[in-house]
Amino acid sequence: MIKFCVLLAAILVLVSSTPKSGISRADDLVLAEACDASASGISRADDLVLAEACDASACSLPDCRCMSTDIPGGLDISEIPQIVLLTFDDAITALNYAYYEDAFFTRTNPDGCPVQATYFMSHEYTDYSKVHDLHARGHEIALHSITHEPYTAYWDELDVEGYIAEFGGERDIVSHFADIPEDDIQGIRIPLLQLAGIRIPLLQLAGNKSFQALQTIGMKYDCSWPTQSYMDPPLWPYTLDYKSEQDCPIGECPTASFPGIWVQPMVNWRDTSGYVCSMVDACIFVPTETDEILEFIKTNFHRHYDSNKAPFGFYMHAAWFQSNPNNYEAYLQFLDYLESLNDVYIVSIQRALEWVQNPKSLDEISSVWSSCPATTEASCTSTSCALDKDGEARYMVQCRNSCPSVYPWLNNPLGV
């Protein structure tokens, strides 16, 4: 578990053995010094190295890739798979789990392996027994923060330690209460924005801070970064060893070098009126009838499939299915369409990055993905816990034998 620096005006720290009475004397205590960020493993801002223009001769796979729309490995478009990324944001509940079960559990890729989705899950209202089950079936669990704070100012003002508390703390929560190996959780997405009570269809970057946090807690990738400038042809994943030229619609671009940290760009879609949107359910002008919705989805897909086959991201919230039953029907028909194409692979972001790091032709794809995604027998015996959060009742379904003492939250992820 990551140990965080806590900034306090004054704190008393025990420095000598406790007397037999169990009460420390005043002269046994000293005033704590200011937190040394370097001792906590967190790089200070002035320790960061400014990213330089990418040197292709020095940046090579599998660990480094310059920002580019070029196909990795110099392969021809006819030789490579079209990777499709199906992702969902926010809490995993019994309600949206039913959609995932119906949509995915019987589908397979051309290699016979089950299709995968990636779930950027937020903590509050999540059913951790369902998280456990999705992971056991080979799907990817990723992070969307503990608080899911929707206001711009919060993420603007949050420091590196705050990002570590949000995402490192959430990884502790998920690993503990869903009984998932911590190392299987490798990606993050910063929440959407909200201004004046309205959800804004943009993801917010945090300059260097979120990437410092990623590096500190040992995670692999970020998928919070939309692009409007690199839609046609679309942008491939790349690392932040060198300077990125990707556009930043909102928030600050990172300026430092973060070797080995991957960016899975959120290549924007276009709605039927030409407006761009990073999340499908945030598109403004979308048809309402099934056939027209399907055509809208396929049009965006073919901008990838017919150009450079950069991974096609279908980024959304499951609430989109509930807003119009035709949305879900069109989604299912789109999955049927993808299954009819023998070069399309629906995989997790982690599995997609494995191919980018070791690009091979379709004939050699088994050398990249030598086996199907790891699955296990689901072993969660769920326990429902009635807890309190700031005076409000929270019912938390989780996989531990006993309930936490308090509702798990920021800076107390295990609820002790």
- pLDDT at position 30, please? 39
Q: What is 104-167 written as a DSSP string? A: HTT-B-TTSPBP--EEEE-STT-BHHHHHHHHHTTPEEEE--SS---BHHHHHH--HHHHIIII
pLDDT average, residue stretch 402-411: 97
- pLDDT at position 205, please? 78
At 227, list the tokens: 């692009």
Cβ within 8 Å of residue 40, ≥6 positions away: 3, 4, 5
- pLDDT at position 55, please? 96
- Mean predicted lDDT score pLDDT of the chain: 89
Is the bond preceding residue 413 a cis peptide, omega within 30 degrees? no
- To the question of pTM greater than 0.75 for the whole model, the response is yes
> CA-to-CA distance for 340 and 334, rounded, in angstroms?
10
- pLDDT at position 43, please? 59
Which helix (DSSP H) or strand (DSSP E) does residue 263 occupy?
strand 258-263
Q: What angle do CA 296, 134, 113 make, to 5 degrees?
A: 70
- Which residues are paired to 346 by β-bridges? 84
- pLDDT at position 41, please? 58
| pLDDT of 42 over the 80 cut | no
| pLDDT of 130 over the 60 cut | yes
Report whether 248 contacts 203 (CB < 8 A): no
Residue 344's φ and ψ, nearest 5 degrees, are: -105, 130
In one-letter notation, the amino acid at residue 11 is I
| pLDDT of 153 over the 90 cut | no
Report whether 184 contacts 143 (CB < 8 A): no
Q: What is 274-302 written as a DSSP string? A: S-EESSGGG-SS---SHHHHHHHHHHHHH
pLDDT average, residue stretch 376-401: 95
Tell me yes or no: is domain 61-367 CATH 3.20.20.370: yes
Q: How far is CA 270 from the centre of its chain?
A: 22
pLDDT average, residue stretch 372-393: 95
Diameter of the chain measured on Cα atoms? 78
Could you tell me how many helices (H) and strands (E) the chain has, helices first?
10, 21
User: Which pLDDT band, with edges at 50, 70 and 90, does 40 fall under?
Assistant: low
Cβ within 8 Å of residue 92, ≥6 positions away: 119, 121, 126, 127, 130, 131, 134
Match 């079960």 to its residue by tokens: 101
User: Which pLDDT band, with edges at 50, 70 and 90, does 34 fall under?
Assistant: very low
Cβ within 8 Å of residue 336, ≥6 positions away: none
- pLDDT at position 151, please? 82
| pLDDT of 32 over the 50 cut | no
> CA-to-CA distance for 99 and 104, rounded, in angstroms?
8
- Pairing type for strands 276-277 and 269-270 reads antiparallel
User: Which pLDDT band, with edges at 50, 70 and 90, does 321 fall under?
Assistant: very high
User: Which pLDDT band, with edges at 50, 70 and 90, does 329 fall under?
Assistant: very high
